């Protein structure tokens, strides 16, 4: 299983968020270091441990 995430470098840090949860950002010293907190964040967000989580979804129009 995999999840898509958005990442960018700002100064010396890599920032990123899960595509499905754009309101929740995390950071790491390298791109590889960013992936561990993203995994933890995904586990927390999908377990409903964090209240009032906003999600992104697709709406079929046809």
Tens of pLDDT, residues 20-32: 999 999 999 999 9
3-state secondary structure of 41: helix
| C-alpha dist (Å) from residue 7 to 10, 29, 38, 50, 59 | 10, 12, 10, 22, 25
Tokens of 53: 């989580």
Query: Which tokens is 42 given?
Result: 């995904």
28-60 pLDDT per residue, tens: 999 999 999 999 999 999 998 888 998 888 899
Answer with the residue of higher pLDDT: 51 or 14: 14
């Amino acid at each position: 299983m995999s999840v898509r995430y958005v990442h960018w470098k700002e100064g010396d840090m890599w920032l990123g968020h899960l595509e499905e949860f754009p309101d929740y950002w995390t950071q790491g010293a390298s791109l590889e270091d960013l992936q561990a907190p993203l995994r933890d964040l995904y586990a927390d967000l999908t377990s409903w441990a964090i209240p009032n989580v906003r999600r992104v979804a697709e709406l079929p129009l046809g």
